[in-house]
Amino acid sequence: MKLAAIDIGSNAARLLISEVILQDTSEPVFNKLNLVRVPLRLGFDVFEYNEISETKTEMLLQTLKAYKHLINAYGVNYTKACATSAMRDARNATDIIRKVKLETSITIEIISGETEAGIIYENHTAEHLSKDGYYLYIDVGGGSTELTLYAKNQVSFKQSFNIGTIRLLKYMVTEDHWDSMKEFIKVKTNNFPGIIAIGSGGNINKIFSLSKKKEGRPLSLEALREFYRELSSLKIEDRIKLYKLREDRADVIVPALLIYINIMKWANIQEIYIPRIGLADGLIQHLYSEVINTLPNMK
């Protein structure tokens, strides 16, 4: 069975195509066949003008047409497309979704921040760690940050905040936004000692690559602070040159680090694991669950 997930975020749109190998004696295996990312940067329109421009709409449409060709080429059986913060806030989102459906046959579902947090959690990364531990999933995007606390094999909370990298670059995040997140985190994590963070998103993945850490090893809060101090002291063009960053990564990586650092500080977390997952990975898991629940012979 081949599945495709399309994640239309505030900074980029991603297509993930995976093959599911079913085995009688164990959990299904998800093999990644292709991952494509296009930096549409819808949030730069939406968070300033409350709508997606004609230019960005055409870019989105052409991207999804290309994704559709890849989906057909791989012989994908089931596809799920979701949009997050930028599309949630765009007043012309309904018209764009209708146009995409008409021209590509792809149905875009706009999901809430809480749903987004839950889908990211569906990667079940914490299940492979200690059953008695406490893990805070942190997913930082262009428009919002999703948090899920996983406590002793149970989800304690899922929460979304309109604090994202593009919103920060656009000066759309106020002190009240920060204070609200800080108060929530301090109250909700106060009774859970020794929390370990699990980070997802393109920015934290890039930081992990730059750190040269071995797979499966965590980064410390101090290491994130060091990266923040170094990168924030550089102009964007210098970040691109010295760290070989794409332009659409070089500007958002600093505000992303600020978000991770603040969350870890407020939750009294000293280490973060980066399994290189994201919403698209969670969407594949979510889609698989939907498929097996609707097909009797798959149960």
Residues 246, 172 share a domain = yes
Residues 157, 89 share a domain = no
Q: For residues 44 and 51, give the distance between their C-alpha atoms in angstroms, rounded to a whole number.
A: 10
In a domain, 290, yes or no: yes
pLDDT of residue 276: 77
In a domain, 200, yes or no: yes
Q: Is the pLDDT of residue 45 over 90?
A: yes
pLDDT-based confidence at 277, cuts 50/70/90? confident
Determine how β-strand 196-200 pairs with β-strand 134-140. parallel
In a domain, 180, yes or no: yes
Residues 151, 80 share a domain = no
Name the phi and psi angles at 174, rounded to 5.
-95, 170
Q: Is the pLDDT of residue 220 over 80?
A: yes
Residues 257, 134 share a domain = yes
Residues 237, 153 share a domain = yes
pLDDT-based confidence at 36, cuts 50/70/90? very high
In a domain, 198, yes or no: yes
Q: How many domains does the chain have?
A: 2
Residues 143, 52 share a domain = no
pLDDT of residue 204: 95
Residues 266, 161 share a domain = yes
Residues 273, 136 share a domain = yes
In a domain, 207, yes or no: yes
Residue 133 near residue 193, CB atoms below 8 Å: no
Residue 15 near residue 70, CB atoms below 8 Å: yes
Q: For residues 42 and 79, give the distance between their C-alpha atoms in angstroms, rounded to a whole number.
A: 22
pLDDT of residue 37: 95
Q: Is the pLDDT of residue 63 over 60?
A: yes
pLDDT of residue 147: 93
Q: For residues 107 and 97, give the distance between their C-alpha atoms in angstroms, rounded to a whole number.
A: 7
pLDDT of residue 170: 93
**Which residue, chain included where needed, has tokens 């990975």?**
281
Residues 264, 284 share a domain = no
Residues 182, 85 share a domain = no
Q: Among 197-206, 218-227, 250-259, name the one with the lowest average pLDDT.
A: 197-206
Q: Is the pLDDT of residue 154 over 60?
A: yes
In a domain, 147, yes or no: yes
Residues 105, 137 share a domain = no
pLDDT of residue 216: 83
Determine how β-strand 271-273 pairs with β-strand 145-151. unpaired
Q: Is the pLDDT of residue 242 over 80?
A: yes
**Between 167 and 26, where is the model more confident?**
167
Q: What is the CATH number of the domain that holds 218?
A: 3.30.420.150
Mean pLDDT of the chain: 91
Q: Which domain holds residue 223?
A: 125-277
Scored b (16 or more CB within 10 A) or e, 119-143 reads bbbbbebbeeeeeeebbbbbbbbbb
Maximum C-alpha span of the chain: 58
**Which residue, chain included where needed, has tokens 């859970």?**
192
Q: What is the CATH number of the domain that holds 27?
A: 3.30.420.40
pLDDT of residue 35: 95
Render pLDDT for 115-133 as a digit per residue (tens, 0 to 9): 887 787 665 555 556 667 8
Residues 204, 85 share a domain = no
Q: Is the pLDDT of residue 287 over 80?
A: yes
- pTM (two decimals): 0.87
In a domain, 120, yes or no: no
Q: Is the pLDDT of residue 11 over 60?
A: yes
pLDDT-based confidence at 278, cuts 50/70/90? confident
In a domain, 118, yes or no: no
pLDDT of residue 297: 58
